Chain A
């Protein structure tokens, strides 16, 4: 497979996964912004900070205006990290690799793209249709995943797509978790109630699982356990790394690169940090350091992966 094609497929899924992640977060924040309570979101600043490069001035005008914030994050043509920009790049990647994806996958990418560039969404985001729009976009992205899963051949392209998808997923989980722990100064003894953590869990689609799994009231510890170590939780770091490991083995087998031992070691180091860690370790090390560590290792691994397989430019 051409390196460029592998690169395009990897980024296609990364952008689609990021779109999915951002949409989930937007939906949660939007719904919670309607509740007036202790934990209701006072401002869009944290979301803007995580997912855009808005400067201080922009942030100040946007943060208390839900419609404008949504418009900026989703459809703004100037914002280089808007969903519009992400989906445009996803489509360009799909187009460049068109003979390596199925017709169904291409059509679904095209469909989401045409929805996000349609000027009517600005109007929709202002009114009562905002939630319906977020839901329908989430549905389209979910369909993309379904169509990909049910039509793509399990060949090399599929493996690179999944590497992109799970690396992005792990990144999003780390970013969002970091934000919520930052809010409590990374103090695991903090006694924030479930209403606080519910926002994080809903953003990662893990609230129901949490209620079913954890029965005691040490919410902070439970949440940490779930987002880092829970193997049943599809957005936990552990789950994402297991998947990355699986697809990495496949691409190494298929390509047999000269740097395969190096690549395996780099990934092994990262994986150990989750696989053989537990809450006690996080307590000793402080969650801030723990998250930063994992993040750095993930970035290093990603850099090496990119060098080994995609260095064509």
Chain B
């Protein structure tokens, strides 16, 4: 059997935007891929699938899932068929993300200094006052080049109308970039000719761009500033990514216990003695950074780090306190921020969001719960969510109770039917929902976004939750010129 038969059998669920199929035919950007798939024997698809998972396993590209207190190493499931986006659409996405990050950086600068946006009542003060991620400790700290968000992962989804929406901003420690890069390397092994025939834009320079950006942030005027990655350690679920980035950039991967602070300067302990550190790309959450300022029981951080940060002797990437800007309740105000700071309309729209502390919203949401998703404002990774269309009455009541008790902690959004793509599963092409996380870098020289990003797939049939911790997988993402 060849791919032809499988392609014929592929149809997308009505009411969805399918990335490959349109009106019974293929979208033009998919024509090369469809042509290749059509002529491939099904055995060879199986072979490619097996080769891909072997490559991931042998390289130890795994993440750790914690259940029953025992960490299990798994590979992140990878689907061999690429997800393709047209250059014109990408230009739109890129412009939208650029604009959004510009506004978010201005917002963070404002909120930790004059708070003009609160005084002008564009964002309600009580929302900031009640946000646990608002970090009083960094109020008034001047950060290098006024950049708070250096590395961002903006989660986009495509709705039934074919439009891209911003679902979430990740401005703290977005992960997944190593999968974006590894997915491309694996695809090079699977479909070398297709990549060149489609003129797919390159992503592999990401580590170089990141490295340049990190170096350019250093405040000491020296030829070779010391840049390090700070990891929580080998038991962290994203440890693979930390080692990957350290290797790709050729910089040390340090743990909290490798660093110390003396006279408001950060040093790493080497066999040659102490060496001053200029820039720390930290993959540790704010609350664990410095036991003297945040959680006193944190063994992951460095005592005194915040004092060095406050003095400007060390640059932390991303800045401390960014959580206030990617809080799910504050997310709803990003278009207003764009208007306020840039006097522009948002290029990429938000998903409509209801604040549960507003009475009307509360009633509206629970009256239409079957088409709503309820989310906790401070959780991510697909945890703490209620998908209304699949929930049991009991779960809904449970959530209603929780929302009533602490409405600020919840938002609701209408469920959006994410666009679908074909996945090679169980010997056939199956339609599955996807999102897209492009990775953006903000440095002193502007904002750079490598063309593509991580496409995450909900591998369970009909599921709209793409998080890796909830059974999601990923795909290589191609940006192709028209």
Interface residues of chain A, those whose CB is within 8 Å of chain B, are 1-6, 92, 95-96, 98-99, 103, 106-107, 110, 156, 160, 251, 254-258, 309-313
Contact = CB atoms under 8 A, between A and B. Distances in A.
Given A4-B257, A99-B243, A92 B234 contact: yes
A98 B242 CA distance: 10
Contact of B270 (A3, A96, A160): A3
Interface stretch (B152-160, B246-254, B278-286, B458-466): B246-254
A5 B253 CA distance: 9
Contacts of B255: 4, 96
B151 interface: no
Given A2-B269, A2-B270, A99-B253, A312 B258 contact: yes
Given A2-B271, A96-B234, A258-B273, 13 more contacts: A1-B271, A2-B269, A3-B269, A6-B271, A96-B255, A99-B243, A107-B58, A107-B60, A110-B60, A156-B271, A251-B271, A256-B272, A312-B258
23 contacts: A1-B271, A1-B272, A2-B252, A2-B254, A2-B258, A2-B269, A2-B270, A2-B271, A3-B271, A4-B269, A95-B234, A96-B233, A98-B243, A99-B253, A107-B58, A107-B60, A110-B60, A251-B271, A257-B271, A258-B273, A309-B271, A312-B269, A313-B257
Contacts of B239: 95
A4 B258 contact: yes
A3 B243 contact: no
Contacts of B254: 2, 4
Contact of B272 (A255, A310, A313): A255
Interface of B: 58-60, 233-234, 239, 243, 246-247, 252-255, 257-258, 268-273
**Residue among A4, A6, A251, A258 with the highest chain B CB neighbour number at 10 A:** A4
A217 B423 CA distance: 76
A312 B257 contact: yes
Nearest to A6: B271
A87 to B, nearest CB: 15
Contacts of A255: 271-272
Contacts, number: 56
Main secondary structure of the interface of B (DSSP, over half): mixed
B24 to A, nearest CB: 47
Nearest to A159: B271
Contacts of A313: 257
B246 A2 contact: no
A156 B247 CA distance: 17
B141 to A, nearest CB: 28
A101 to B, nearest CB: 11
B273 A257 contact: yes
B270 A106 contact: no
A96 B234 CA distance: 6
A96 to B, nearest CB: 5
A73 B367 CA distance: 65
Nearest to B248: A99
A1 B273 CA distance: 10
Contacts of A312: 257-258, 269
Nearest to B231: A96
A5 B233 CA distance: 12
B258 A3 contact: yes
Contacts of A156: 271
Contact of A2 (B233, B243, B247, B268): B268
Contact of B247 (A4, A99, A160, A254): A99
Nearest to A96: B234
Nearest to A156: B271
A312 B260 CA distance: 9
Contacts of A6: 271
Contact of B60 (A92, A106, A256): A106
A4 B233 CA distance: 12
B62 to A, nearest CB: 11
Contacts of A309: 271
Most chain A C-beta atoms within 10 Å of own C-beta, residue among B233, B255, B271: B271
Contacts of A257: 271-273
A156 to B, nearest CB: 7
For the complex of A and B, list the 10 residue pairs with the smallest distance between their C-beta atoms, beginning with the closest.
A312-B269, A95-B234, A3-B269, A255-B272, A309-B271, A255-B271, A98-B243, A99-B247, A6-B271, A99-B246
Contacts of B258: 2-4, 312
B298 to A, nearest CB: 16
Nearest to A97: B253
A256 B270 CA distance: 12
Contacts of B243: 98-99
B231 to A, nearest CB: 9
B266 to A, nearest CB: 14
A5 B258 CA distance: 9
Contacts of A98: 243
Contacts of B268: 2
A106 B59 CA distance: 10
B299 to A, nearest CB: 11
Nearest to A3: B269
A6 B271 CA distance: 7
B247 to A, nearest CB: 5
B393 to A, nearest CB: 44
Contacts of B252: 2, 5
A233 to B, nearest CB: 31
A175 B229 CA distance: 42
Contacts of B270: 1-3
B180 to A, nearest CB: 20
Contacts of B253: 99
B54 to A, nearest CB: 13
Contacts of B246: 99
